[in-house]
Structure formats: structure tokens, C-alpha cells
Amino acid sequence: MFKPRLQRQSKAQARTQLLLFSTIFLLFSIFIGAFITVHPLYLKQFLGKAELVGLIAALASFAGLAFSLPVGVLSDKIGRKRLLIASFLLISVVLFAFFRNTSLYALIGLQIAFGIAVAPAWVISEAVIKDISPIGRRGEFRSFYGTFANAGIFIGPLIGGFLAERFEIRTPYIFSALLLLASLLLVLKLKDNNRDSGRNSTRNGIGKDDLVALLREFNQHRELKVLALCTVSLFFWYSAKWVFGPLFLRNLGYNPFAIGLWLGISAAPFLLFQIPLGKLGDRIGKTKMIYLGFLISTLVIIPLGFLKSLSCLLATIFIISLGTTFAEPLIEARVTDIVPREKYGAYSGIFEFAKTLGFLLGPVSSSIFVYLFGISFSFIPTVIIFILTLILFLYTQRCLCRLPL
């Protein structure tokens, strides 16, 4: 009877930590949603041209690339909690600076600082969920966390659009900074599940050999490389949606609230279906669900840039996001199935690198198409990379039914 009691306590603690951590990233995602809804419009005030907005926005992703993998390895050594607190504090400072800034040159520095500040938060979020997810319920736990995070992405744009419309375009920056500072009270209650392993580490620093060995191990695993490619493609689309979606809708004459509504609707499928789809992925196979998600999104995203009616735009973004709901949480859950527990942080860093690479490539590629063909073509690069991902997915795996589940 003693062992079952310990198991019940362990399960209860895991659920408590999952709820606490998901709530923290609900607040974090509200900040992200409010920030990104107005940020392209904020950048355009300094730059004038839409294509330049994509290039400057990509600076944050470029900065994040350099920090994702080292932060993941470091979090395995010293624990997650301290790095998360430092990330939240630094982001708040950068947001206050955005609110006050009037210089184009300072804007470039702030974009880089924002990328550096945000990277640890996203890496640690995935590592913590891996830490606490029980075997057999990884899709469910990742989807539960993802539902909270996407609830923030749904709420944030509505708040950001309302504040920008009611007051002025810089107001969401102050709101977001204060929200992050308030959420630190919850972070302080978080249990650092990786702290003990970090203390027992022979050294807390990051050596070149650590990174080389990790990348060599990753390169030898075929399925992990396919999952990383899928991750790049998904976040390529997200960046194109968040950077050029507001500019595209603004070009059609829609106000900031309508833009926030469109971005909020894009998060709705994650709220409605992510948890049941996560459970389904645990039962029938995560890889099948990932493939189906990419197929749905690819077919529906093709006409997006050429629609004008708000009702059509809302319906289309909902279906595209439904496809990504099949794929995104189960990619991370499948990675948790594959990698060793003591390297959860390191592999979270690798996949955060893949996400950031997608965020970097998305605005740059879309900027080129906008410059050459106009704002309506801003989503065509996403169509291309989704099609290529599907082809390479099938080619490298041979047949969906042969994939390990």
C-alpha cells in the first residue's frame, strides 16, 4: 500500500505543477499576444515600408538562435527556475524601453535584446513540461500546457488591439511589462524538478564539447531531424502570420481590434481541441497526427493572401490553425518519448533553435515576396515550405504506417 500512495502523491504533485506552470505561461502568452498584435504597426512607424518590418522583426529571432542551445544545456546543469526569473525580468525591462523609445538605432538594439531575453523562457517551458510528464500521458500533458499557452495567445491580441485602439499603440507594452512582473509571484512558487541533477553536476558551465556531443547525437537520430524540420516549418508560418497578418489586414482597411480578433481566432482551435487531440495522439500514434495536421494546413493556407472578406479570413485562419493543433504539441511530446531525461533541457534548446530558425526565415522570406509581388503574396513562402516539408516527411519516413509510434 505504501508504493501506491507514493505513486498517487507523485501524480498529484505532477498535476499541481502542471497547473501552476501552465498558468504562468497563460500570463506569458497574453503578453506575447498583446505585444505582437501591435509590434508590426509599431515597427512600421519607424521604417515606413512593410518589407523592412519583416527584416527588422527577424533580428529578434536571429539573436535567439545564438542562445537557445546554450540555455537548454545550462538549464540541465543549474536548474530551470533561476533562468526563468532572469528571463522575465529582462523582458520587462526591454518592454519598458520599447514604450519609451523614439530612435531607429535604439530600436535595432531593442529587437536584439528582446530575442535574447525571450529565448530562455521558451526553452525552459518545454523542458519543464518534459520533466513533469508521466510516460503514457506526454501528449496529454503537453497539450494541457499548450491549451493554457494558446488561451493567452487568444486573449492577448484582443487586449492588445483594444488598448491600441482605445489609447495609443504603445500602451500594450506597458501592460505586458506589468503582467510579466506580476507573474513572477507564481514563478517563485514553482518547484524546480531539475535542481537536484543540476547540483550533482560536476560543473555548471557549458563547454564546447557538451554542445558538439549533443549535436552529433542529434544528427545520428533520423526521426528527431524530421521532427526538427516540421518545427521549423510550423514556426515559419507563425512568424509570417504574426508579422504580416496585421499588415495584410491593415492594408485591407481593418482596424486594430479586427486584427486582434483575427489573431485571436487563430488560437481558438488550440483551446478547443488540443487536449483531446493530445490524448488521441497518445493512443493512436503521435506521428500520424503530425502528418495529418500538416496536410490540412497546407491545403487551406494556399488562398489566404487573396481573400478580402473578414468572415472568409476568420474561417480560413481557423482551419489552418486546426491543422497546426494536430501537429505542434505532439512534436514536443514525441521528442520527450525519444530523448533521455537528463537531456530534456538540451533537446528543448535544439528544438527552440528550430523554432527560432523558423521565426527568422519566415519574415525574411515573406519580406522578399512582399517587395517583389505585394502584400497579398506574403503567405506564399509558407505554402512552399509546407509542401516541401510534407514531401520530405514522406520521403524520409517512406510510409506513414512504418513510423515508430
Q: Express each pLDDT in 16-33 by its tens digit.
A: 888 898 899 899 989 888
Q: What is the Cα–Cα distance from 311 to 306, expressed in whole angstroms?
A: 13
Count Cβ atoms below 10 Å from residue 366 Cβ, excluding itself: 32
For residue 270, which of 125, 149, 139, 121 has the smallest C-alpha distance?
Answer: 149
Greater model confidence, 201 or 24:
24
334 Cβ neighbours under 8 A, 6+ residues apart = 223, 227, 286, 287, 290
Give the residue-averaged pLDDT of 47-66: 78
**Torsion, CA 117, CA 322, CA 243, CA 57, rounded to 10:** 30
**pLDDT, tens only, 213-272:** 777 888 888 888 888 999 999 999 988 888 888 888 888 888 878 887 888 788 788 888
**What pLDDT score was predicted for residue 205?**
53
- Which position has the grid cell 472578406? 309
Q: Is 179 left (phi over 0), alpha (psi -120 to 50) or beta?
A: alpha
- Mean pLDDT of all residues in 174-186: 91
- Cα separation, 390 vs 302, whole angstroms: 14
d(CA 99, CA 224): 40
Q: pLDDT band at 400, cuts 50/70/90?
A: very low
Q: What mean pLDDT comes out for the span 63-78? A: 80
Exposed / middle / buried, residue 220 (Cβ in 10 Å: 0-12, 13-18, 19+) = exposed
pLDDT tens digits, one per residue of 341-389: 778 888 888 888 888 888 778 878 888 888 888 888 889 999 999 999 8
Q: Pick 176 or 341 by higher pLDDT.
A: 176
How would residue 207 be classed by pLDDT, with cut points 50, 70 and 90? low
Helical spans, DSSP H, in 302-379? 310-338, 344-373
Pick the CATH number of 13-197+204-402 from 3.30.1380.10, 3.30.479.30, 1.20.1250.20, 3.40.50.300: 1.20.1250.20
Average pLDDT rounded to a whole number, residues 143-160: 84
SS3 label, residue 162:
helix
pLDDT at 89 over 90: yes
Residue 204 burial by Cβ neighbours in a 10 Å radius (0-12, 13-18, 19+): exposed
Kindly report the backbone phi and psi dihedral angles of residue 255, in degrees, each rounded to the nearest multiple of 5, phi listed first.
-85, 170
CA dist., res. 344 & res. 128, Å (int): 8
Question: Which of 66, 331, 87, 318 has its CA nearest to residue 211?
Answer: 66
pLDDT for residue 401:
45
Determine the pLDDT at residue 54. 73
| 169-189 core/surface letters (b: 16 or more CB in 10 A; e: else) | bbbbbbbbbebbeebeeebee
Count CA within 13 A, CB hemisphere, residue 355: 22
Q: Residue 97 above 90 pLDDT?
A: yes
pLDDT, residue 322, reads 92
Comparing 112 with 157, which gets the higher pLDDT? 112
DSSP category for residue 134:
P
Mean pLDDT score, 327-334:
84
Distance CA 88, CA 235 (A): 22
By mean pLDDT, which of 27-41, 65-79, 298-312, 323-337 is the weakest? Answer: 65-79
Q: What is the mean pLDDT of residues 335-340?
A: 83
pLDDT at 321: 92
Predicted TM-score (pTM) of the model is 0.73
* Helical axes 138-166 vs 268-284, angle rounded to 10°: 170
Indicate whether 114 pLDDT > 80: yes
What is the arithmetic mean of pLDDT over 72-95? 87
Count of C-beta atoms within a 10 Å radius of residue 216: 9
Mean pLDDT of the chain: 82
